[in-house]
Amino acid sequence: MKEGLRCCAMLLVMLAGQALAGQVTHHRFHSETLGRDYPYTLYLPDGYHESGLEYPVLYLLHGSFGNDQDWVNRGALKAVADRLIRQGRIPPTVIVMPGSHSWWIDGHNENARSAFLDDLLPHVEALWRVVPEREWRAVAGLSAGGYGTVNFILERPELFAAAAALSPASYHPLPPANSTAREHAAFLTPEGRFDADLWQRLNYPAYLDSYLAQEYVVPLYLSAGNRDAFDAVRHARKLQLALEEHQPGQVPFEVFRGGHTWRVWRASLPGALTFLFRYLQPPRPLGDATHAVPAP
């Protein structure tokens, strides 16, 4: 009898877990900027299709030579998001994981920055029930995706309410000799040489003065591994110091044991998501255009 009750209890727990599970699907659309299909992986929270709600949206970027499925296949995104939503630590949200052949820049190989801003964001906001307003929109990424994240929020702070950069490859003044930036088509001239001028024109210091002079503040979570082969801790500290006076208490930095690896990025993800949703607005009824409540 006790064994039967125990099995029933386990079954109920499993069913409850399934009921709170999000859905992951893969999509493509034609990008006018790129002249080809733009892939992205999509996480929809449990109940999305029946809820009648509009959701916050997180754009989660992959690293150098990565793809749109990395965060699900290697980063445990679905399991982490399901758990945090189930625990009430973040609200139900839509997470978009785009794929890029570049470092999220308009580089030598493709205009990834323009495609992200001009094609992907409007496509997502037209097709999926996400609120197309700053207070419901965030961006995050790892390594090269962290580089892209930092550049996006400093260049276009009016678009994003919060951000997270995990082991950001925002190296200043130039990437280290072992960085894949030096061999990535985004930064290679037609002659195959690393374009240091392009790097410096597009790296975050180029956007700092204009960001610090305007009114928007984008809280930014930073993390890195203490044995990072690219010295990401030191470079992230530089970034933190550059922003801390402008937005005190809104540039936390966590250092984890490990290198420039998925172990560190998986460890960073729960804290990053929890941080982001301190500043993002929760889901709202479809068509509710009432003003957002300012984040604390």
pLDDT value at residue 3: 44
Beta bridge partners of 28: 39
pLDDT value at residue 288: 79
The rounded distance, in Å, linking the Cα atoms of 18 and 16 is 5
Strands (E), the chain: 23-31, 36-44, 53-54, 57-61, 94-98, 137-142, 162-166, 220-225, 253-256, 284-285
Which of 38, 174, 32, 193 has its CA nearest to residue 104? Answer: 38
- Convert the pLDDT of each residue in 38-49 to its tens digit: 999 999 999 999
Return the CA Rg of the chain. 20
For the domain made up of 20-283, give the CATH fold.
Answer: Rossmann fold (3.40.50)
Residues 6 or more apart in contact with residue 39 via CB below 8 angstroms? 26, 27, 28, 67, 68, 98, 99
Tokens 């550049």 belong to residue: 151
Q: Is the pLDDT of residue 278 over 80?
A: yes
The rounded distance, in Å, linking the Cα atoms of 175 and 179 is 6
* pLDDT-wise least confident of 4-13, 42-51, 75-84, 163-172: 4-13
pLDDT value at residue 290: 55
3-state secondary structure of 224: strand
The rounded distance, in Å, linking the Cα atoms of 264 and 39 is 26
Which token pair is 110? 């493709």
Mean pLDDT, the chain, as a whole number? 92
- Convert the pLDDT of each residue in 85-135 to its tens digit: 999 999 999 999 999 999 999 999 999 999 999 999 999 999 999 999 999
Percent of the chain with pLDDT over 70: 91
Model-level pTM greater than 0.85? yes
Q: Is the pLDDT of residue 235 over 60?
A: yes
